[in-house]
Structure 1
Amino acid sequence: MVLMNLQSTYIQRLRTFIVLLVASLNAFSSIAAELSTKEIDFFNQQLNRPAKVKFWYQSSENSCHAKMCLTPQQTPNRIAIISHGAFGSPREMNWLGYALASQGWVVAGVAHFGESWVYGTESIDPSTASRFWQRPQDVSFVIDSLSNDGLFNRSLALDKLIMVGHSSGGFTSLALAGATLESGKSEAYCRSDKANNDKGCQYSKKGRSKPLTQDMMRKIGLLQRQMQDPRIGGVIALDPALGHAVNEQSLAQIDVPTLVIGSVNNDFLPYITHAKYYADHIQRATLVGIEQGAGHFIYIDSCNADRKANGVPLCKDRDGVNRDVIQKQILVHIFGFIYKNGLG
């Protein structure tokens, strides 16, 4: 009876939280003036790589001597990192960055050099997609940089962050929690009939001009062991990529709360091979399948550009799909996951 009462209380609290969350999202435009965004350039001297970071946060009305003035009410342990999809940018993740910031999170969106267009189109290198270990390196460096003097006017707790990523960023998030790739698995899958509708295989064909040598495989193995970051306390993977290439045993060892959200009727990454595969093999994973005709790019901001990735439009959804409505539904799942697991 006590257990039933506790469950009933929890369910009631969760329902109340979701109602309040939806109300806050509907009132989002009225509080937008209290939110701020800023882009700051960092440079990883050890790896000779720039890191442009877009921040979303609640700003203080009072000036300060830091680059970003946080409100006195800022909770020090509400920190989230966002990793964008292949050849994308944090500038396309405002829907998520502002929503998290509106609930008191300091959010840092990492632009991965060599992939992100924010560094200039001349910097884009298709082969970067095959150097998957660089993305987790970027994130760990940015986490280190969050404690830089003069960045914030308040100290932040960096020992239990939430890692969020879309597509390749979804893999990046999971790699930081322990996921690794398995040699030869991607190549075998992409040669099979199962991969006929998998646009992800096109990146590996563009990014690698010759087979990997044994010495390169040894070095990659070492780099993979360094991808995990113990400061990641929870993962939210939005339609994650590279499910067809990930080692199953590495997923079984992930021990942080994980939310995997994927588009069921996917136009880019087959749901069974990617999102569902991840969730099926991570013990503490929650899987949410988004239907309603949603495709792979509903996880980026609404847009009007005529851009495509491997032939799939980034901005134009299928008929009848309302990206803004679906994103609000996704936010309910995200904040429900955060609340349920006591994150932040």
Structure 2
Amino acid sequence: MHQYTRLAWAGLLTLTASLAQAGVGLKEITGLQGDGPVTVYYPSSAADQPLQRGPFHLQLAWQGAPVAGNGRLVVVSHGSGGNPWVYSDLARSLVAAGFVVAMPEHAGDNAKDPSKPGPDSWKKRPAEVSRAIDAIAKDAALAPLLSLDRVGMYGMSAGGHTALSLAGGRWSPALFKQHCETNIADDFATCVGLFTELKGNFLDGVKKTVALGVIRQRYDDTTWYTHDEPRIAAVVSGVPAAADFDMASLARPRVPLALITAGKDLWLVPRFHSDRVTEACAGHCTVLAALPDAGHGALLSPQPALAQMSDLAVRLLGDPPGFDRGQMHTVDTKIVRYFEQHLQVPAPLQAKAP
């Protein structure tokens, strides 16, 4: 083997080995234009240490020195009322393969401030993703280690809605209103969230009437909302909110699009959401994982502190009886491989996810 070829391969093998042994760095960078912080997971030379974030016991290298990975960024868009910690298992798998992972905090729809979920947040989220990429591009430590011409996008639930927008979909608040007018009883949690639920008693009629009155007042906007972000080159959308999309706009996604579905999702009933997307883009998108026994919260890992939640939240986010949460590591690995393939990660740098 030529001397220079041997040296190049030796360098690549050393880098791959360092990724396997390094810690998972964690830091927050300031968001742009008044956005909240962007939480960043990345390959680090520092060792993981116990780290407490709310009720979560994590092993991460807080503000550890970054090291070169595979040069690619994946942005993760959290669900309604979400935080960066319930996606840390996925982030760890991505970092083990060399990716940097950025999680913007979506205004008015996060764990610290859940005041404006639904269409009010959905209008803002895609631009918040773009600004998170811009914030990474300005970071003196991380930017030199990345090529931002091909960025991956993962989103779950409301974040899945954001992901569909960035895959080229268009949606309208008026379609959300129309969906709820037609399907309020069968998709009540989508239309109302955690505020209340139908219980099969005499109050259900009042609840539906009040909910529809609010929805009709707030969501009569017929504007088509879209967002163009040319740096995003591959999208994975998990259990997405999707009833308000023009399905024709998702028939041929702008970039490679993969879906993860949960057959027992009680929050975003599949036949109104993920099933409609997979039918619309059949032949032009990928069902990366179909989980027939999974509920809406299957993609949250580690799980949120269910004991601290309302009974309704536990029913919507908890695992259905018989669901095997152990399979979710395999789902994370599929996500990693999908991004490696479509973000054109150089083959010698594809360190295996743990």
TM-score calculated relative to the size of structure 2: 0.73
Q: List gaps (5 residues or longer) in structure 2.
A: 1-18, 48-62, 196-210, 346-354
Give the number of equivalent residue pairs. 293
Counterpart of 2:37 (choices 33, 37, 52) is 52
Counterpart of 2:150 (choices 160, 164, 171) is 160
1:148-297 map, 5 Å: 148-152=138-142, 154-182=144-172, 184-193=174-183, 196-203=186-193, 205=211, 208=215, 210-212=217-219, 217=222, 220-221=223-224, 224-225=225-226, 227-241=227-241, 243-282=242-281, 284-288=284-288, 290-291=290-291, 293-297=293-297
| Deviation (angstroms), 1:85 | 0.5
Identity among equivalent pairs (%): 24
Ranges of 4+ aligned residues in structure 1 off by more than 6 Å = none
| Deviation (angstroms), 1:155 | 4.1
| Deviation (angstroms), 1:294 | 1.1
1:1-40 map, 5 Å: 34-40=23-29
Equivalent-residue separation in structure 2 for 1:90 and 1:129 (angstroms): 21
| Deviation (angstroms), 1:43 | 3.4
Aligned Cα root-mean-square deviation (Å): 3.1
Equivalent-residue separation in structure 2 for 1:236 and 1:127 (angstroms): 21
SS where residue 28 of structure 2 aligns? strand
Q: What letter corresponds to residue 70 of structure 2 in structure 1?
A: T
SS where residue 162 of structure 1 aligns? strand
| Deviation (angstroms), 1:289 | 5.0
Assess, with a 3 A threshold, how the Cα gap between structure 1 residues 295 and 142 changes in structure 2: closer, same or farther: same
Equivalent-residue separation in structure 2 for 1:133 and 1:167 (angstroms): 15
| Deviation (angstroms), 1:158 | 1.1
Residue 87 of structure 1 contacts residue 116 of structure 1 at CA under 8 Å; is this kept in 2?
Answer: yes
User: Which position in structure 2 is the counterpart of 1:332?
Assistant: 333
| Deviation (angstroms), 1:97 | 0.7
Equivalent-residue separation in structure 2 for 1:267 and 1:43 (angstroms): 35
Equivalent-residue separation in structure 1 for 2:148 and 2:341 (angstroms): 21
| Deviation (angstroms), 1:153 | 6.5
Residue 267 of structure 1 contacts residue 312 of structure 1 at CA under 8 Å; is this kept in 2?
Answer: no
Counterpart of 2:86 (choices 89, 92, 101) is 92
SS where residue 200 of structure 1 aligns? helix
Equivalent-residue separation in structure 1 for 2:311 and 2:133 (angstroms): 29
Assess, with a 3 A threshold, how the Cα gap between structure 1 residues 340 and 316 changes in structure 2: closer, same or farther: same
Equivalent-residue separation in structure 1 for 2:32 and 2:102 (angstroms): 15
| Deviation (angstroms), 1:156 | 1.6
Assess, with a 3 A threshold, how the Cα gap between structure 1 residues 267 and 157 changes in structure 2: closer, same or farther: same
Q: What letter corresponds to residue 120 of structure 2 in structure 1?
A: S
User: Which position in structure 1 is the counterpart of 2:319?
Assistant: 317
Q: What letter corresponds to residue 233 of structure 1 in structure 2?
A: A
Residue 51 of structure 1 contacts residue 142 of structure 1 at CA under 8 Å; is this kept in 2?
Answer: no
SS where residue 93 of structure 1 aligns? helix
Matched, 1:143 2:143: no
Q: List gaps (5 residues or longer) in structure 1.
A: 1-29
Assess, with a 3 A threshold, how the Cα gap between structure 1 residues 342 and 146 changes in structure 2: closer, same or farther: closer
User: Which position in structure 2 is the counterpart of 1:22?
Assistant: none
User: Which position in structure 1 is the counterpart of 2:5?
Assistant: none
SS where residue 278 of structure 1 aligns? helix
Equivalent-residue separation in structure 1 for 2:215 and 2:182 (angstroms): 18
Equivalent-residue separation in structure 2 for 1:235 and 1:321 (angstroms): 26
Equivalent-residue separation in structure 2 for 1:155 and 1:31 (angstroms): 17
What does the per-residue CA deviation read over 1:280-326, in whole Å, with 9 as the maximum and x for residues that have no partner?
Answer: 22353111453352100011123343224954446632223232x12
Residue 234 of structure 2 contacts residue 343 of structure 2 at CA under 8 Å; is this kept in 1?
Answer: no
Residue 181 of structure 1 contacts residue 245 of structure 1 at CA under 8 Å; is this kept in 2?
Answer: yes
User: Which position in structure 2 is the counterpart of 1:75?
Assistant: 70
Assess, with a 3 A threshold, how the Cα gap between structure 1 residues 313 and 94 changes in structure 2: closer, same or farther: farther
Equivalent-residue separation in structure 2 for 1:151 and 1:310 (angstroms): 43
**Larger CA deviation: 286-295 vs 52-61:** 286-295
Residue 68 of structure 1 contacts residue 153 of structure 1 at CA under 8 Å; is this kept in 2?
Answer: no
| Deviation (angstroms), 1:331 | 1.9
Residue 251 of structure 2 contacts residue 284 of structure 2 at CA under 8 Å; is this kept in 1?
Answer: no
SS where residue 108 of structure 1 aligns? strand
| Deviation (angstroms), 1:254 | 1.8
